[in-house]
């Protein structure tokens, strides 16, 4: 079951709807995060998460749903640890878990050789960007600019 998802080219059922929902949900939460003093209403977060779960039930594929739930649980537990240590906000954890439910594997048009959960490369890329930002910010402060 898991081998098919990880090592074969699998198209998620309703892939276009999943991608659209992930983009819209992320855009709405990003809007509130930026323009509402870093406060995202709980109704929006829970609606995004609930919609992600419901879309998985409507577009049901046993393997995809299993990988999505497992990825969301791992992201949720790891995110909760980061949240409790003050590294990220609580809303970030729910948004990442929602994205993990919507896009449990790479979209088929990406032609990846194997299907890592979509959220993992996003987190790696965000970590690299954050590291570069911190490096330049600290370097600027050290140099007194």
pLDDT (tens digit per residue) in 119-137:
778 888 888 998 999 899 8
119-143 helix and 90-102 helix, angle to the nearest 10 degrees: 150
Annotated domain spans of the chain: 2-117
**pLDDT score of 1 more than 70:** no
**How large is the average pLDDT for residues 83-111?**
89
90-102 helix and 62-84 helix, angle to the nearest 10 degrees: 170
Give tens-digit pLDDT for 5-49. 666 777 788 999 999 999 999 999 999 999 998 899 999 999 999
Q: pTM (2 decimals)?
A: 0.81
Q: What pLDDT score was predicted for residue 132?
A: 92
CA angle 39, 26, 122 (to 5 degrees): 110
Alpha-carbon span 87 to 78, nearest angstrom? 11
């Amino acid at each position: 079951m898991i081998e098919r998802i990880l090592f074969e080219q699998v198209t998620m059922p309703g892939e276009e709807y999943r991608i659209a929902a992930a983009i819209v949900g992320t855009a709405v939460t990003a809007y509130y995060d930026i323009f509402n003093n870093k406060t995202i209403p709980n109704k929006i977060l829970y609606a995004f998460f609930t919609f992600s779960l419901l879309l998985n039930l409507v577009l049901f594929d046993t393997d995809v749903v299993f990988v999505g739930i497992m990825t969301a649980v791992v992201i949720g537990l790891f995110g909760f640890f980061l949240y409790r240590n003050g590294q990220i906000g609580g809303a970030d954890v729910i948004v990442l878990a929602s994205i993990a439910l919507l896009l449990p594997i790479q979209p088929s048009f990406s032609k990846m050789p194997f299907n890592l959960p979509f959220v993992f490369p996003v987190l790696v890329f965000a970590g690299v960007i954050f590291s570069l930002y911190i490096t330049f910010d600290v370097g600027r402060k050290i140099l007194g600019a």
